[in-house]
Amino acid sequence: MKVISTKGWSDYGLLDSGNGLRLERFGKFVISKPDPQAIWNQSLAKSQWEAADAKFQNDTWIKKSDFPQNWHVNYKELKFLAKLTPFKHTGIFPEQSLNWDFIEEKINNQKSINNSKPYILNLFAYTGIASLVAAANGAKVTHVDASKPSIAWAKENQTLSNLLDKPIRYILDDAIEFCAREIRRGDKYDGIIMDPPVYGHGPNGELWDFNKSFPILLDHCSKLLSDKPLFVIANAYAVSASAIMLKNLFEDYFPKGNLEYGELALEQESTRLLSTGIISRLSFI
């Protein structure tokens, strides 16, 4: 088990954490929001926290008068739309940059062997950054999410990144129902990405309960893997279990490969780590 952490990149940084909060920079804007696990002391001065451009307090955003409704954040050659949502996030989960690099590496490894275009399935795909990374590197992507606004946001990101010519198929559907149909169709994927919530529902009221639904989904995904797969990635947030749970499930449902599992974390500028969730990644190339 390992900690997989990132220091961020030119358009993102975790500036500080503590006292139940985190202070982050997205592009040119600094944002403060709650993080219940950050119960240690803050490192930066109070004045630096108070200078944040936006703060999430009492279930609402308090913003400076000139704060925009949305703005752009860059990552390598990609560009995303950031917004302050009622759920206290911006539509960008920066710790996922570790997976974006992983996806890029595995796709390019395959291209160096046979120059083929892999088929990638992105489940609970949200604003679609992982989909853009895969497509930008030559993959054909099926992007599945149960939220119309999230799919619209993902399409905006595709436009901003000048990737409209790349093959991304957007599907509004329940993840389990979609995978079951793909099995019946006989479709296969070389890479699968999963970012499931603890609880949720599909567009037609389908219920998602992580502990009950996730093993079913993994069973479906095991049947959708191609004969020569590249990778399988699963992230989990706010789940009352360790990464060992993900490891054990991957060993139950997927063929042997290079399996790594542990915590995803952000490194703040004082080198302190902030855990954001658990992960299991399986690669075959």
| pLDDT one-digit tens code per residue, 73-100 | 999 999 999 999 999 999 999 999 999 9
Long-range CB pairs of 79-83, under 8 A, 24+ apart, other chains included: 79/157, 79/160, 79/161, 80/127, 80/129, 80/157, 80/160, 80/161, 81/127, 81/153, 81/156, 81/157, 81/160, 82/26, 82/27, 83/153
For 35, the 3-state DSSP assignment is coil
- Cα separations in angstroms, 267 against 23, 24, 28, 32, 130: 12, 11, 19, 16, 21
What pLDDT does residue 125 have? 97
Task: For domain 8-83, give the CATH number.
Answer: 2.60.40.1180
* pLDDT over threshold 80, residue 115: no
State mean pLDDT over 12-31: 97
* pLDDT over threshold 90, residue 70: yes
State mean pLDDT over 21-30: 97
d(CA 63, CA 52): 9
State mean pLDDT over 20-25: 97
| Beta carbons of 5 and 266 less than 8 angstroms apart | yes
The DSSP output letter for 117 is -
* pLDDT over threshold 90, residue 194: yes
State mean pLDDT over 91-119: 92
- Bridge partners for 191 per DSSP: 120, 231
State mean pLDDT over 122-146: 97
Residue 270: pLDDT band (50, 70, 90) is confident
What pLDDT does residue 109 have? 92
* pLDDT over threshold 90, residue 113: no
- Bridge partners for 17 per DSSP: 22
| Beta carbons of 274 and 38 less than 8 angstroms apart | yes
Maximum distance among all Cα pairs of the chain, rounded to whole angstroms: 59
Residue 112: pLDDT band (50, 70, 90) is confident
For 87, the 3-state DSSP assignment is coil
| Beta carbons of 276 and 264 less than 8 angstroms apart | yes
The model's pTM: 0.96
Residue 205: pLDDT band (50, 70, 90) is confident
Write the CB contacts of 170 (distance below 8 Å, at least 6 apart in sequence). Answer: 143, 145, 151, 154, 155
* pLDDT over threshold 80, residue 232: yes
Show me where the domains of the chain are located. 8-83, 94-283
Task: For domain 94-283, give the CATH number.
Answer: 3.40.50.150
What pLDDT does residue 201 have? 86
Rounded to 10 deg, the angle between the 210-224 and 243-253 helix axes is: 40
108 backbone φψ class: left, alpha, beta (φ>0; ψ -120 to 50): alpha
Amino acid in the structure at residue 226: S
> What is the overall mean pLDDT for the chain?
95
What pLDDT does residue 30 have? 98
Mind listing the pLDDT tens digit for each residue in 137-188?
999 999 999 999 999 999 999 999 999 999 999 999 999 999 999 999 999 9
Mind listing the pLDDT tens digit for each residue in 36-48?
999 999 999 999 9
CB atoms within 10 A of CB 104: 17
| Beta carbons of 238 and 252 less than 8 angstroms apart | no
d(CA 207, CA 262): 27
* pLDDT over threshold 90, residue 271: no
d(CA 62, CA 59): 10
Which tops the pLDDT comparison, 237 or 31?
31
- Bridge partners for 142 per DSSP: 121, 169
